[in-house]
Amino acid sequence: MLGILKKTALLLFVNLVLINLTQVSAQTSKSKSDSLRTLKLLKKTFDAVIEENKKSDSGALEMEIDGLVVDQTITKVGRDFYDLFFSSWEAPKNSKNYTITIKEMVLPGLATQITVMVNDNEVFKQRVQPRYEILEQMSNYASQQTKRYLNNYEKMKAQLEEDDQQGTGIF
């Protein structure tokens, strides 16, 4: 990921340099020096960003959107469920790097099936009827299940990262 980002940034920088060089030849000498000064400033900034990324301990960029709630519903019932879920949703404090997806599958009759997934893991799956009271109850229950799942996930992740679980590789 980091290598791809560096290559993309380098290609962008090279394109900027080529564009600026073609424009510089067409400008007067005063504006030519301004363009060269700007180009040098861009190069220094680009080099500073590359050095900062090399010095980072994790080796990965920390550019993620945490807690995204995605709506993949089809009908009004699904949209109402999503709205109720989203209004009652409050993320646990320590949870990171997750995406919640609310999917809907239309079933024969008046019922639809709602599925709530966290990072492609199914947390809640239920048939719901188009009655507002039932949607409210189900969305609150789905919200609680999702919070419980995220809390358990973070606890398990913390336990696996402890020293006694990492091992030395010596048998």
Query: Stretch 149-155: mean pLDDT, rounded?
Result: 90
* pLDDT at residue 24 tops 50: no
What is the Cα–Cα distance from 36 to 21, expressed in whole angstroms? 9
- How far apart, in Å, do the first and last CA atoms of the chain sit? 34
Domain ranges of the chain: 2-55, 68-160
Comparing 93 with 161, which gets the higher pLDDT?
93
Tokens of 53: 């990324």
What is the Cα–Cα distance from 159 to 171, expressed in whole angstroms? 21
Question: Phi then psi for 107, rounded to 5 degrees?
Answer: -110, 160
Confidence tier at 96 by pLDDT (50, 70, 90): confident
pLDDT digits (tens, 9 = 90+) for 29-75: 555 677 778 878 878 887 877 777 776 655 555 556 778 899 999 99
pLDDT at 145: 94
Interacting residues of 123 by C-beta distance below 8 A, sequence separation 6+: 116, 117, 142, 145, 146, 149
Give percent of the chain above pLDDT 70.
70
The CATH number of domain 68-160, selected from 1.10.3470, 3.30.70, 3.30.160, 3.40.50: 3.30.160
